[in-house]
Amino acid sequence: MGEFNLTIDKGSADTILSLCREGLPKTGPTIFQWSATNHVPTQDLKLLFVPKSARR
């Protein structure tokens, strides 16, 4: 165990990001970051990126 740092960049402000983790702070127009100490995951991290071009 130790420090865990997660940074997700969705690439475009128009892209929708859906994930299984709540409370992930947005730190920029396209960036989300989260840090933890002694984090033990209880499930896999699942991400879904939906670009504007895929929405109707």
Q: What is the pLDDT of residues 22-48, one digit of tens each?
A: 888 999 999 999 999 998 888 898 999
Q: Specify the higher pLDDT residue, 20 or 46.
A: 46
Closest by CA to 8, choosing from 43, 46, 41, 37, is 46
Q: How confident is the model at residue 1 (pLDDT cuts 50, 70, 90)?
A: low
Q: Specify the higher pLDDT residue, 4 or 21.
A: 4
What is the chain's Cα-based Rg? 13
pLDDT over 80 (residue 56): no
**pTM reported for the whole predicted model:** 0.79
Assigned token pair, 49:
């990126």
- Under a CB-based contact definition with an 8 Å cutoff, are residues 47 and 11 in contact? no
